[in-house]
């Protein structure tokens, strides 16, 4: 065959093209295997680039948080400050009845920036380009067959319309919970099969929010932990004396521990699948398996791994300079807000619990809210009348202050929301403007509760700056030592809290019965005094895991 110059050119071109294709294949192949979601993500990003850089008013921005969040939300490059998550895999657990309510918001926020993750449910499902795996697919038929807990598993496969329509018609949320516990150990097994050999595995639920910058920084820089050790970290709870990492808060397992648990004990998952029918909870069973087979117990890293959300977190002592790594009970809207907050902070410093308060909660604080429960229930004041005592809820009755320890304000606190509000006020310390040095001496000698400070006052002369300084220090200590920040009043039960939290609305009573209305109030002066006395957090208080 005669080779014309043109066909030669084609052949050279073809050769080069083939080589280029092959090289591209070699380059891309590991990503296919490792990161099945990379494609969708890049497509998404290229489409967004094409659409331009959307910049919006930041809906979180308000008078109260101008210092901490930006006025505008530049949503064009959401993953720019996202940490490198090499070696770490997120495994999210959900249920078929809730997946479509919960998963999409994750995909639009944090999961959008993770190169790889796994989502497990109790049915195989598809959300757009993302696959949700059935954690129970390999569960033995014999263990499922006569187990009522699997009714939902069977029913939802039969559902001819959307899961939500089938569930709404039955209104039986308990069934999803009953099925949930069986997923934990099969998820461990399938995760190791599908994504073996990662350094760390982070397990979360569909209502858990993960603060990735803090998690990665802690794991790699601050924790001093080695993924080659067998580690199980989380927020520790107990059931029947057994410690376990609370599932909803999220928990962390080292790759080495997961490998040992799955590879070295072949019958383990099967054994626990059967055992599940007699246990309450999957997170507890996981802890039992880790202890039984690997002799590993959970190590406590609460409050970094946290079971609350921004509106229920008890801000105050012990919840301030600590960095936050996870939150729980987050609905879709809350997940989106916290993500938006992360995206629009004015700083990239470590996100502390205090920052959540300043960015998201402080702007919502006001003196009182009606039909509101701020979750005040640390110390209670209830009418001593036996009938009133009987009416009050048991756990609140148990938290009553001993009458002999009450001051006059506390004795009257149950009578009305206004009386209840005064309890926190009785812990106030005078403002600096109010205490000239004579005032200091006077107060000290008249007020037995400040007996500690007598020494300070004794050698006080009106010009003594040092004494003033010492007094100030002691006032600051008092501000920090406050044990009453807010109150809640309802049906002659007054309770106060030793932390401050926003809480949630309560239904208004049917008739206009003021007594039955929930009233909540915040002692803003006390809260702000405490915050001021705490000062800046000089450094993040990372928690070292308690020894197991």
Ligand X SMILES: *[C@@H]1O[C@H](CO)[C@@H](O)[C@H](O)[C@H]1NC(C)=O
| d(C-alpha 338, C-alpha 98), whole Å | 20
Q: Residue 407 or 481: which CB sits closer to ligand X? A: 481
499, exposed or middle or buried, with CB in 10 Å at 0-12, 13-18, 19+? buried
Nearest approach in angstroms of CB 270 to ligand X is 38
Considering the complex, state which of residue 53 and residue 426 has its C-beta at the smaller distance from ligand X: 53
Two tokens at 104? 């999409």
Residue 171 tokens, joined = 């209104």
Q: Are 96 and 68 in contact (CB under 8 A)?
A: no
Q: Taking contact as CB under 6 A, which single stretch among the options 101-109, 400-408, 473-481, 529-537 is the one that binds ligand X?
A: 473-481
If binding is defined by CB under 6 A, does position 516 make contact with ligand X?
A: no
355: its two tokens: 């920052």
Q: How far is the CB of 396 from ligand X (least distance, A)?
A: 7
Task: Check binding of 451 to ligand X (CB under 6 A).
Answer: no
Binding footprint of ligand X, residue count (CB under 6 A): 15
Which residues lie closer than 8 Å to 242 by C-beta, 6 or more apart? 284, 287, 288, 291
Examine residue 169 and tell whether it contacts ligand X (CB under 6 A).
no
- If the CB atoms of residues 162 and 371 are measured against ligand X, the closer one turns out to be 371
Range list of β-strands (E), 189-317 = 200-205, 209-210, 232-234, 236-239, 242-245, 251-254, 299-300
Nearer of residues 222 and 373 to ligand X, judged by Cβ? 373
79 near ligand X, rule: CB under 6 A = no
Binding mask 327-346 for ligand X (x = CB under 6 A): --------------------
At closest approach, how far in Å is the CB of 238 from ligand X?
20
- Close Cβ partners of 244 (under 8 Å, ≥ 6 residues apart): 236, 237, 238, 281, 283, 284, 286, 287, 288, 298
DSSP string, 441-510: HHHHHH-GGGGGGHHHHHT--TT-HHHHHHHHHHHHHHHHT----EEEEETTEEEEESSB---EE-PPPS
| Binder of ligand X out of 119, 152, 216, 375 (CB under 6 A) | 375
Q: Does 508 contact ligand X by CB under 6 A?
A: no
Give the torsion sign (CA, 319, 297, 249, 242): negative
Is there binding between residue 76 and ligand X (CB under 6 A)? yes
Task: Verify binding: residue 459, ligand X, rule CB under 6 A.
Answer: no
**The binder of ligand X chosen from 31, 70, 74, 256 (CB under 6 A):** 74
Answer for which of 101, 124, 155, 377 binds ligand X (CB under 6 A) is 377
Tell me which residues in 38-57 interact with ligand X (CB under 6 A): 53, 55, 57
Q: Determine the Cα angle at 174 with ends 237 and 111, to 5°.
A: 65
User: For ligand X, what does the binding mask look like between residues 477 and 496, x meaning CB under 6 A?
Assistant: xx--x-x-------------
Is 517 near ligand X (CB under 6 A)? Answer: no
Give 89's DSSP letter.
E
H or E stretch at 145? helix 141-145
- C-beta closer to ligand X: residue 326 or 450: 450
Stretch that binds ligand X, among 70-78, 112-120, 191-199, 327-335 (CB under 6 A): 70-78
Q: Which residues contact 35 (CB under 8 A, 6 or more apart)?
A: 115, 116
Q: Which residues form the interface with ligand X (CB under 6 A)?
A: 53, 55, 57, 74, 76-77, 80, 373, 375, 377, 477-478, 481, 483, 504
């Amino acid at each position: 065959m005669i080779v014309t110059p043109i066909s030669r050119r084609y052949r050279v071109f073809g050769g080069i093209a083939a080589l280029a294709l092959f090289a591209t294949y070699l380059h891309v192949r590991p990503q296919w295997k490792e990161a099945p979601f990379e494609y969708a993500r890049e497509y998404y990003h290229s489409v967004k680039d094409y659409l331009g850089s959307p910049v919006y008013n930041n809906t979180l921005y308000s008078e109260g948080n101008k210092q901490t969040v930006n006025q505008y939300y530049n949503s064009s490059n959401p993953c720019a400050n996202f940490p490198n998550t090499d070696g770490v895999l997120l495994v999210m657990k959900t249920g078929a009845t809730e997946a479509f309510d919960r998963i999409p918001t994750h995909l639009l926020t944090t999961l959008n920036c993770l190169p790889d993750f796994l989502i497990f449910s109790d049915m195989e499902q598809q959300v757009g380009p993302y696959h949700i795996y059935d954690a129970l697919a390999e569960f033995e038929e014999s263990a499922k067959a006569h187990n009522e807990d699997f009714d939902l598993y069977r029913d939802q496969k039969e559902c001819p319309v959307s899961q939500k329509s089938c569930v709404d018609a039955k209104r039986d949320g308990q069934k999803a919970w009953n099925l949930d516990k069986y997923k934990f150990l099969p998820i461990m097994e399938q995760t190791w099969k599908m994504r073996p050999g990662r350094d760390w595995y982070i397990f979360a639920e569909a209502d858990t929010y993960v603060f990735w910058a803090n998690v990665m920084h802690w794991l790699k820089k601050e924790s001093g932990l080695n993924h080659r050790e067998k580690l199980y970290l989380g927020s520790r709870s107990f059931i029947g004396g057994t410690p376990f990492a609370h599932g909803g808060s999220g928990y962390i397992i080292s790759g080495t521990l997961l490998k040992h648990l799955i590879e070295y004990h072949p019958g383990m998952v099967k054994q626990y699948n059967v055992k599940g029918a007699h246990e309450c909870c999957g997170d507890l069973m996981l802890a039992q398996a880790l202890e039984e087979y690997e002799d590993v117990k959970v190590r406590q890293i609460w409050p970094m791994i946290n079971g609350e959300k921004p509106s229920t977190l008890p801000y105050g002592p012990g919840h301030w300079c600590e960095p936050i790594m996870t939150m729980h009970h987050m609905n879709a809207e809350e997940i989106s807000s916290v993500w938006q907050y992360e995206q629009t902070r004015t700083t990239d410093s470590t996100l502390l619990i205090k920052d959540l308060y300043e960015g998201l909660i402080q702007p919502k604080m006001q003196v009182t809210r009606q039909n509101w429960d701020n979750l005040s229930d640390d110390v209670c004041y209830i009418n001593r009348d036996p009938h009133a005592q009987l009416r009050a809820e048991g756990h609140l009755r148990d938290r009553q202050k001993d009458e002999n320890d009450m001051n006059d304000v506390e004795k009257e606190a149950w009578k009305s929301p206004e009386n209840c509000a005064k309890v926190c006020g009785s812990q106030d310390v005078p403002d600096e403007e109010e205490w000239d040095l004579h005032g200091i001496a006077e107060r000290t000698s008249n007020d037995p509760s400040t007996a500690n400070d007598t020494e300070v006052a004794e050698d006080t002369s009106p010009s003594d700056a040092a004494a003033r300084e010492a007094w100030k220090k002691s006032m600051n200590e008092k501000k920090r030592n406050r044990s009453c920040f807010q109150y809640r009043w309802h049906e002659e039960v007054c309770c106060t809290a030793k932390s401050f939290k926003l809480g949630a609305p309560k239904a208004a009573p049917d008739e206009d019965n003021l007594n039955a209305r929930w009233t909540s109030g915040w002692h803003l002066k006390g809260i702000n005094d405490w915050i001021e006395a705490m000062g800046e957090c000089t450094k993040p208080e990372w928690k070292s895991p308690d020894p197991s």
